[in-house]
Amino acid sequence: MGRKIKKRYVDEELLDTIFVLEREWKSIESIVEKSIEPTTTAVYKEKFAQAKYLFLLREARHRKISAIRYD
């Protein structure tokens, strides 16, 4: 029984982190899009944020977690 509670807690934390990273990635993407000449650092930060977000999405899919289930 204790394992289920811990797994649920970890799954909820994973979903929270996914949502935070999505907002971070989208905001960086918006800034880069609006820039006339985005710096290479900004482009790298955008790609890094996107990579973190996609990695956690794959982890959620692997764990078979859905955001709908945890509302």
Q: How many helices (H) and strands (E) does the chain have?
A: 2, 0
pLDDT in tens, 7-63: 888 888 999 999 999 999 999 999 999 999 999 999 999 999 999 999 999 999 999
Which sequence spans correspond to the domains of the chain?
7-63
Which residue's entry shows tokens 């930060």?
45
Q: What is the pLDDT of residues 47-64, one digit of tens each?
A: 999 999 999 999 999 998
Is the entire prediction scored with pTM above 0.75?
yes
For residues 65 and 39, give the distance between their C-alpha atoms in angstroms, rounded to a whole number.
36
Report the C-alpha gap between 20 and 38 in whole angstroms: 23
